[in-house]
Amino acid sequence: MVSRLDELVGFEPLSPGHSACAGCGAMIAVRQVLLAVPQPYIVVNATGCVEVVTTQYPNTAWRVPYVHVAFENAAAVASGIEAALRVLKEKGLARDHRVVVIAGDGGTADIGLQALSGALERRHSFLYVCYDNEAYMNTGIQRSSLTPHGAWTSTTPFGKAGPKKDLIAFAVSHGVPYAATASPYFWKDLANKVRKALTFDGPTFLHVLAPCNRGWRFDPSLTMRIAKLAVETRYFPLYEVEEGKYRINYFVSRPRPLEEFLRLQERFSYLLRPENAHLLEELKREVEARWEGLVRLAGS
Amino acid sequence: MLLNSLLMTGNEAAAYAVKQSDVDLITAYPITPQTTIVEKLAEYVGRGDVKAAMVLIESEHSALSACIGASAAGARVFTATSSQGLAYMHEVMYVASGLRLPIVMAVANRALSAPINIHCDHSDIMGSRDSGWVQVFCEDPQDVYDNVVKAFRLAEDPRVLLPVAVNFNGFTTSHSCEPVAVLPDEEVRRFLPRRERHRLSYDEPMTIGGFALPDAYFESKVEQEKALRAAGRVFTEVEELYPNSESKRGAIHAEWTGGRVKLICMGDVAGSLRHFVKTQRLQDIFDVLSVRLFRPFPRRRLIELLNDAELVVVMDRSLSPGAVSPPLVSEVKSALYDAGFRVPVWSVVYGLGGKPVTLRKIGRLLGEAERGVREREARSRRILLR
Ligand SMILES: Cc1ncc(C[n+]2csc(CCOP(=O)(O)OP(=O)(O)O)c2C)c(N)n1
Ligand SMILES: [Mg+2]
């Protein structure tokens, strides 16, 4: 169990000087995740913001072995690495490495879903981390299937219609031994989930909320506040599913009004207009339904 | 050396070669006519004949992606596909070569949809001909066996470090049985030593697959092409080193030379052409030049062989819709033009979607070519050998 910051900070896998935006939630999340992963490990990254800001040739921000192949296939690449390392180790041709996949919401929930499903079903041992900034940020803020209902993106100028996909349910439906959500504000919870995930043999899945000030349109100083409010409004509940058993890690008994989370972000300004009150209502209902569903599943 | 002769289909020959090549990871997705390769390999791995991870994956895109990951981790890897599967891989083929990964892939060539068709032509691989892979074509199951073994050596050569696609015709080679002389296991092992190369490892952390701005991108592509060109020389070296010297056929296989008309083709049609020319005793008129190395294209060797040509007839098994010429004849014409060599070139398209190339059709074509050269007809022509 990690309970103090100094238990976490050891080897920094990412060097400073990469080109992420100030206040980038994805980079904070990735750093937190990797600080909790014991060496040696290999990072597999899908195309997206994290890849672009860390690997501009001839520089690299990575102090650990890192590979990026394409947008939709990170889980397949990881499958190959994991399966190959087992054999190479037996033949005395390589040492053991853990495999950590880092992919965005687009690379995970949309175009990468098939490769992910295949890899989970084949039970490769790796930790798959989806950093969810709720849109295709790298290409200029287009909607993904994890964009929330009513949010502005450059392809949903009047708000996205329909709820986020349930990624954890997707992972759990494959019988993964461990799946969890996390928010970088709750860094201890996040780090401990990473540590826990790595104790299982087989695929494990982490869905991390990654506020994006460019895409969500908020001041870069507010990243952590938004990461906190997302949880405290029940917008993004913190929970885990261990061998099929749901557990809520932060039981939000008295949620803050959803508007507190929404108002800080201009992407919701359309939704917050008086004439769009019905949209706001729909989003609220959805958030509540998600929470209640979770409470039922957790049996708490 | 005592060679064992086994009766095998092209697909079995490919699988047998992989079995002997000490691969670490095999992954493939079923598609006719490639499927029996993976089935055979699954049996070998299941029986413990091969110490490899067998990843029974959910798509061809993922199959090649897994190969890329495994190869980047230092593994010797193999995959196989055909047609739609190859098209599905197209995106990642460029990544495999761009990352300089020595992956070996068998391609049992098959037509592309639509209309859907399971039979042979070369439109699948021609769609990826500029993907930066070494591309080899086989004439028969023996050639498949030899080329798969050689492909690992060629791919892993430090001057090359590129993926290799070993092509052979769907059904007519993939499913036809012939005796194949196979090397003893230890011979193959000796021929394929493990070599150090770039890879993902904690001991020497490396970033593989970063992004490049225009200057770096341009330079990296130029370097990559140099490696592909070097593969031409290494191909010849590998043939020299290969323990079975009888299997040395060259980048362009010419069983005899001296004819005035040069028939240029790829794949097993070379056998039909040779058979026809030999049985009709037409060797003085026709040479059969079978291009076994398509990428990098062996243009110098081609020009040497075309030195005394009066007519060149090029057989393409795919179309390049809207282009000046189909793929193979385009290469031949470019090579001739660069060499300052003006000779009539006939472009023949045959066998699309598995349309059989009968001896009668060959006879008709060769008859016309003979007349053409006798009457010194200087025109270039386009023929559809339906
Ligand atoms: C096959 C393919 N389609 C589209 C793209 C263009 N593309 C690159 S990154 C990206 C969006 C990435 O979104 P996400 O996975 O959410 O990561 P983020 O950029 O938000 O970090 C897209 C559409 C691509 N590289 N490859
Ligand atoms: Mg995103």
Say yes or no: B242 and B135 in one domain: yes
Model confidence over B11-32: pLDDT tens digits?
A: 999 999 999 999 999 999 999 9
Residue where one domain finishes, among candidates B246, B265, B282:
B246
CA dist A170 and A165 (Å) reads 9
Say yes or no: B265 and B168 in one domain: no
- For residue A3, the SS3 value is coil
Say yes or no: B329 and B186 in one domain: no
Tell me, yes or no, if A15 comes closer than 8 A to chain B by beta carbon: no
Amino acid at B129: R
User: What confidence score (pLDDT) does residue A1 get?
Assistant: 79
In degrees rounded to 5, what are phi and psi of residue B103? Answer: -85, 140
pLDDT grade, residue B66 (50/70/90)? very high
Residue where one domain finishes, among candidates B217, B246, B275:
B246
Residue A107, min C-alpha distance to chain B (Å): 14
Q: How many CA atoms lie within 13 A of A89 on its CB side?
A: 11
In degrees rounded to 5, what are phi and psi of residue A232? Answer: -70, -15
Contacts of A91 in chain B (CB under 8 A): 24, 51
| Cα torsion through B293, B294, B300, B302, rounded to 10 | 90
Mean pLDDT in residue range B287-297:
98
Domain with B113, as residue range(s), is: 4-246
DSSP structure string for A96-143: --EEEEEEEHIIIIITTHHHHHHHHHTT---EEEEEE-SSBTTTTSB-
Atom 7 (ligand 1) nearest CA: A139
Whether complex ipTM tops 0.95: yes
Amino acid at B288: V
User: What confidence score (pLDDT) does residue A300 get?
Assistant: 61
**CA–CA distance from B320 to each of A203, B35, B167 (Å)?**
44, 27, 18
CB-neighbour burial class of residue B324 (10 A; exposed 0-12, middle 13-18, buried 19+): exposed
Nearest to B265 by CA among B280, B246, B252, B249: B252
Mean pLDDT in residue range B130-136:
98
Mean pLDDT in residue range B74-99:
98
pLDDT > 70 in chain A, percent = 99
Say yes or no: B82 and B179 in one domain: yes
Amino acid at A271: L
CA dist A208 and A185 (Å) reads 11
- Cα B336 to its chain centre, rounded Å, is 22
Interface of B with A in 71-90 (CB under 8 A): 71-75, 77
CA dist B98 and A6 (Å) reads 41
- CB contact burial B102-132 (16+ within 10 A = b; e otherwise): bbbbbbbbbbbeeeebbbbbbbbbbbbbebb
Nearest to B159 by CA among B100, B200, B91: B100
Would you say residue A65 has pLDDT above 90?
Answer: yes
Residue where one domain finishes, among candidates B213, B246, B279:
B246
Of A39, A80, A121, the CB nearest to B68: A80
Contact B274, B255 (CB under 8 A): yes
Mutate to test the pocket of ligand 1, among A71, A116, A214 (most ligand atoms within 8 A of CB): A71
**How many domains, in total, are found in chain A?**
1
Mean pLDDT in residue range B345-355:
98
Contact B63, B57 (CB under 8 A): yes
Mean pLDDT across chain A: 97
CA dist A130 and A139 (Å) reads 17
User: What confidence score (pLDDT) does residue A3 get?
Assistant: 85
pLDDT > 90 in chain A, percent = 96
Model confidence over B143-174: pLDDT tens digits?
A: 999 999 999 999 999 999 999 999 999 999 99
Contact B65, A70 (CB under 8 A): yes
pLDDT grade, residue A4 (50/70/90)? confident
Would you say residue B123 has pLDDT above 70?
Answer: yes
User: What confidence score (pLDDT) does residue B112 get?
Assistant: 98
A138 ligand 1 Cβ < 6 A: yes
Mean pLDDT in residue range A244-262:
98
CA dist B108 and B354 (Å) reads 12
CATH code of A194's domain:
3.40.50.970
**HEC string for chain B:** CCCEEEEECHHHHHHHHHHHCCCCEEEECCCCCCHHHHHHHHHHHHHCCCCCEEEECCCHHHHHHHHHHHHHCCCCEEEEECHHHHHHHHHHHHHHHHCCCCCEEEEEECCCCCCCCCCCCCHHHHCCCCCCCEEEECCCHHHHHHHHHHHHHHHHCCCCCCCEEEEEECCCCCCCCEEEEECCHHHHHHHCCCCCCCCCCCCCCCEECCECCHHHHHHHHHHHHHHHHHHHHHHHHHHHHCCCHHHCCCCEEECCCCCCEEEEECCCHHHHHHHHHHHCCCCCCEEEEEECEEECCCHHHHHHHHCCCCEEEEEECCCCCCCCCCHHHHHHHHHHHHCCCCCCEEEEEECHHHCCCCHHHHHHHHHHHHHHHHCCCCCCEEEEEC
**How many domains, in total, are found in chain B?**
2
Would you say residue A143 has pLDDT above 90?
Answer: yes
Say yes or no: B83 and B204 in one domain: yes
Domain with A144, as residue range(s), is: 4-298
CA dist A222 and A230 (Å) reads 12
A214: left (phi over 0), alpha (psi -120 to 50) or beta: alpha
pLDDT grade, residue A5 (50/70/90)? confident
User: What confidence score (pLDDT) does residue A59 get?
Assistant: 96
User: What confidence score (pLDDT) does residue B380 get?
Assistant: 87
User: What confidence score (pLDDT) does residue B360 get?
Assistant: 96
DSSP state of A164: P
Model confidence over A154-195: pLDDT tens digits?
A: 999 999 999 999 999 999 999 999 999 999 999 999 999 999
Say yes or no: B155 and B282 in one domain: no
User: What confidence score (pLDDT) does residue B142 get?
Assistant: 98
Say yes or no: B173 and B192 in one domain: yes
Say yes or no: B353 and B267 in one domain: yes
Model confidence over A96-124: pLDDT tens digits?
A: 999 999 999 999 999 999 999 999 999 99
For residue A37, what are its two tokens?
């992963």
Q: Residue B115, preceding bond cis, omega within 30 degrees?
A: yes
Ligand nearest to the CA of residue A54, numbered in listed order? 1
CATH code of B293's domain:
3.40.50.920
Q: How many CB atoms lie within 10 A of CB B243?
A: 15
Say yes or no: B157 and B235 in one domain: yes
CA dist A142 and A175 (Å) reads 31
The residue assigned the tokens 């394929």 is B192
Q: Residue B327, preceding bond cis, omega within 30 degrees?
A: no
pLDDT > 90 in chain B, percent = 97
User: What confidence score (pLDDT) does residue B16 get?
Assistant: 98
**Which residues are CB-contacts of A286 (< 8 A; sequence separation ≥ 6)?**
A149, A163
Mean pLDDT in residue range B68-73:
98
Say yes or no: B270 and B326 in one domain: yes
User: What confidence score (pLDDT) does residue B333 get?
Assistant: 98
The residue assigned the tokens 């004849």 is B329
Global model pTM greater than 0.80: yes
User: What confidence score (pLDDT) does residue B34 get?
Assistant: 98
User: What confidence score (pLDDT) does residue B382 get?
Assistant: 96
**Which residues are CB-contacts of B49 (< 8 A; sequence separation ≥ 6)?**
B19
Q: Which of B202, B203, B220 to mutate to test the interface with A (most CBs of A within 10 A)?
A: B202
Q: Which of A19, A52, A56, A81 to mutate to test the interface with B (most CBs of B within 10 A)?
A: A81
Would you say residue B376 has pLDDT above 90?
Answer: no
Residue B169, min C-alpha distance to chain A (Å): 28
User: What confidence score (pLDDT) does residue B3 get?
Assistant: 84
Mean pLDDT across chain B: 97
User: What confidence score (pLDDT) does residue A248 get?
Assistant: 98
pLDDT > 70 in chain B, percent = 100
CA dist B125 and B303 (Å) reads 24
Is A118's CB within 8 Å of B62's CB? yes
Say yes or no: B238 and B363 in one domain: no
Residue A130, min C-alpha distance to chain B (Å): 19
Say yes or no: B214 and B66 in one domain: yes
